[in-house]
Structure 1
Amino acid sequence: MQQQVITSSGNEKLTLDYVLKLLLEDGLITEEQRTQFAGLHESDNKKTHPLITLSNLDWHSSCEPSFPLTLERLTQWLAEKTRIPYVRIDPLKIDVNKVTSLVSQAYATNLKILPLEIDGKELTVANCEPFFDSWVQELSRIVNLRIKRVLVNPKDVERYLVEFYGISQSILGAVIDSDESRSKLQNFEQLIEVGKMGEPDANDQHIVSIVDWLLQFAFEQRASDIHLEPRREKGKIRFRIDGMLHQVHEFPIILMGAISSRLKSLGRMDVTDRRRPQDGRIKTKTPSGDEVEMRLSTMPTAFGEKLVIRIFNPEMLYKSFTDLGFGAHEIKTWEHMTHNPHGIILVTGPTGSGKTTTLYSALRQLARPDNNICTIEDPIEMVDEQLNQMQVQQNIGVDFATGVRTLLRQDPDIIMIGEIRDFETADIAIQAALTGHLVLSSLHTNDAPS
């Protein structure tokens, strides 16, 4: 059914009855459904957005039964209906500090609007009320910019109002608590201001909030690595997602040392030593309750201490080969190779391409009571009770080659070598494959064919 376009009337907010009426007109629901829920929003759910109420009903389109009326699809439908551009918020593309400095938290929260982007003389603002636009002219005068309205999922507006302004307030609070001072500790390239020596404490509540937000955000974005990189005036936060680094945020340089110290404290590292590289581990849980292990590595740089966090999520490491992108033919070929009693299989590719995930997923499928699977890894990225895992320890002379020799005396059926890094390890891996063992390993390359 062709949709009838409706326009804004200024100050009206959506009601459930009105949305039901529009859905009925477009043939997306039946009269029976409309009658059943008419008036529900006003009487029982005054604070709940009508689209959220409807999405919780798990309805499907009456004209297309395979088309569920999810919150995102209802938002898209309403955007088309009102001819307001629809946007799916991508927090990685938003300069949070820049947009939140233009519109106050109180103003944005009161109107349930969210500034997203500044492009020249235009400010893009998201909201979830297509007929409520009386604020547009006022905001345009305040910020001295044209306002471009976009329609977004109402849950995203609620969520990112809290997150964006919350992290901005934490940053501001931490800077204020430090008297706007600059740390001169181990930042050889920073311009020192005489008489200003303070740095926020790692246990300051603002710093704790920033670190908590940083980790939760990384989990939500399914990042494999977090990079904290100090520069002369600013500190950069970058996430590696699907092999690519994305800049997420910039912090005042005064906060970077405190953020690093908080993470080092959680990772049981020496917080006071910023001159030498250190390694640590953190075990925590994601918002969904999954246990996650993180490996921390620090490095002193000209601008201060750089910290990288590698995230090992069991959900990410153990996947079906369909989820990994294997087609039916590739799965059949892979199963044929891994069910051979001997031979060597190499998984190749660049950093972050999924080599470790592929190996762990294969081992999970091969783990059976009649198999003895032994691994040598640097480090053990995820402990699995079905595997006999050994870690490289260079300080006591246990490298990959030594580890493989040890594993060969353990009556293994399958050997996994975390990475082949030198000729000696490659040679002993081939010897193991030729003497009746199935060997799986990874090899770093710029791309799979090379």
Structure 2
Amino acid sequence: TDVESILSDIEEDDVQIDEGEDMEVDLEREAAESPVIRYVNYIIQSASKDGASDIHIEPGDKSLKVRFRIDGVLFDAMQPPAKMAAAITSRLKIMANLDISERRIPQDGRIRCTVQGRKLDLRISTLPCAAGEKTVMRILDTRSISVGLDDLGFGESALQIWKTQIEQPHGIVLVTGPTGSGKTTTLYASLRQMDKVTKNISTVEDPIEYHLDGITQTQMHEKIGMTFAKALKALLRQDPDIIMLGEIRDEETAHTAIQAALTGHLVLSTLHTNDAPSAITRLVNIGLEPFLIGAAVNAVLAQRLVRKICEHCKQPAELNEELREFALMQGIEASKLMGGKGCERCRRLGYSGRLGIYELLVVDDMLRDIIARNPNVTEFRRLCCERGMVTLRQDGFRKVGDGVTTV
């Protein structure tokens, strides 16, 4: 069968479990005997090869589907026999040290493995559903931690301003956007930019996604009382210069972060808002006084990820009337609009990889006074634009005009 032919081609050493001390020793020997183990290895190996960020294993009444999320879009990857569903889930639970006998409640775990020389960290989540257990794995590739600020898609001016902001001696710098918009990557790239020799840099994260040399990283454990606020208060007794806080979720954490910023520390953190000005409103809604926000916040960076046109099949876009009108309205030369024809390198999609689009709000003295008066978000957004803020929409259109993405 197709599955058997796939299994016969998989090398036993293609996927190795790094956490050997937590695993049964027999697992390595089982790899030569169990087709399920070999097939799970094949799924992980294929996802890694295709550059997937997530693996979805979805059981149905009479089917089993495996999908990969690549550049933000889900694609069908393979369809193993439905009878393999429970065995695949059990194998993944063993790898993640989960309870294989518990199928009634969700479980979360972690798998560290090496795939053809690449170290991967998989965050696994199981969810009971009508046809069995759905499993989703987020793939954290240690290679992505080497990405620098220069590689993220910043315009030259925005990049220099951002570098200036993360070099300030104190204050709060926020990165905001929905889940999956690249906030953590931006924060990690920013931390890598900093001087770790003369600065004491610490983080509080949930979870710790990547390990950074020269930086003290603390894992939040809310179930045992290790909250963001409690960890942050402890960090402030550790003589920090720079603190990265995974997320500002509640009033206590926000107040502690504000006090840290106002007492000589640089605090980097994230929020979930649609744009940069809305981050100020969110802090007010959390329970902070507007005058404290104005005094402490230095800058807010809103961001999204867009797909990049494949460099191997990029060509001038086919211009219809709608595209011509768009180019005219945005002041873009129609001849600069590009598209991807589709090739083997990009799986015939015309896109390969992603880059950020950004909206950087720098809080100057005038905006601090305005924030202290607690303006509504619409008025505040207008004032920010008048002060020179480039919006997400504008930055996105600039990148369309540069021929790196599409409308």
Fold shared by both chains (TM-score > 0.5) = yes
For residues 104-123 of structure 1, what are the structure 2 equivalents within 5 Å?
Answer: none
In the other structure, the counterpart of 1:438 is 266
> For 1:349 and 1:239, how far apart are their aligned partners in 2?
23
For 1:358-369, what aligned pairs fall within 5 Å after superposition? 358-369=186-197
Question: Against the structure 1 CA distance between its residues 246 and 422, is the aligned structure 2 distance closer, same or farther, given a 3 Å change threshold?
Answer: farther
CA distance in 2, matches of 1:165, 1:411: 58
CA contact (8 A) 1:318 1:357 kept: no
**1:215 has 2:44 as partner:** yes
1:332 to 160, 171, 176: 160
Q: Contact 2:170–2:266 (CA<8 Å) still a contact in 1?
A: yes
Does the aligned pair in 1 maintain the 2:148–2:192 contact within 8 Å?
no
Counterparts of 1:282-301 in structure 2, within 5 Å, are 282-287=111-116, 289-301=117-129
Which of 265, 268, 281 is matched with 2:94 structurally? 265
Secondary structure of the residue that 1:251 maps to in structure 2? coil
Residue 407 of structure 2 corresponds to residue 407 of structure 1: no
Q: Paired residue for 2:6, among 163, 167, 187?
A: 167
Contact 1:367–1:386 under 8 Å retained in 2: no
* Corresponding position of 1:227: 56
Secondary structure of the 2:94 match is helix
Name 1:245's counterpart in structure 2: 74
* Structure 1 residue 203 displacement after superposition: 8.9
1:26-425 equivalence runs, <5 A: 166-167=5-6, 205-287=34-116, 289-425=117-253
**1:380–1:389 Cα contact (<8 Å) kept:** yes
Matched AA of 2:56: H
User: How much has 1:251 moved relative to structure 2?
Assistant: 3.0
- CA deviations on 1:14-51 (whole Å, 9 max, x unpaired) are xxxxxxxxxxxxxxxxxxxxxxxxxxxxxxxxxxxxxx
Native 8 Å contact 2:7 2:38 kept in 1: no
> Is contact 1:296–1:309 with CA below 8 Å preserved after alignment?
yes
| CA RMSD, 1 decimal | 2.7
Q: TM-score scaled to structure 1, two decimals?
A: 0.53
Q: Is the 8 A contact 1:342 1:438 kept in 2?
A: yes
Structure 1 residue 431, shift from structure 2 partner: 2.2
Partner of 2:381: none
Structure number having the greater strand percentage: 2
2-side partners of 1:327 and 1:357: how far apart?
A: 17
Any unmatched runs of 5+ in structure 2? 10-29, 276-301, 303-358, 360-391, 393-407
Q: CA deviation at 1:385?
A: 3.2
C-alpha deviation, 1:206, in angstroms:
2.0
Q: 1:408 Cα shift?
A: 1.3
TM-score when normalising by structure 2: 0.58
The percent identity for this pair of structures is: 49
CA distance in 1, matches of 2:31, 2:56: 18
Q: For 1:219 and 1:375, locate their aligned partners in 2 and report how far apart those are by CA, in whole Å.
A: 28
Q: Distance in 2 between matches of 1:297 and 1:332?
A: 39
Structure with the bigger RCO (C-alpha within 8 Å, sep 6+) is: 2
Aligned equivalents of 1:323, 1:341: Cα separation in 2? 25
Shift of 1:368: 1.5
CA distance in 2, matches of 1:441, 1:272: 39
Q: Is the 8 A contact 1:202 1:261 kept in 2?
A: no
Structure exhibiting the larger radius of gyration computed from Cα positions: 1
The Cα shift of 1:244 comes to 2.8
In 2 relative to 1, CA 352–380 (structure 1 residues): closer, same or farther, beyond 3 Å?
same
Q: Check whether the contact 2:31–2:38 (CA below 8 A) recurs between aligned residues.
A: no
Work out the number of aligned pairs and report it: 259
* Residues 294 and 312, structure 1, Cα contact 8 Å, conserved in 2: yes
Secondary structure (helix, strand or coil) at the match of 2:188 reads helix
Do 1:317 and 1:358's aligned partners in 2 also have CA atoms closer than 8 Å?
no
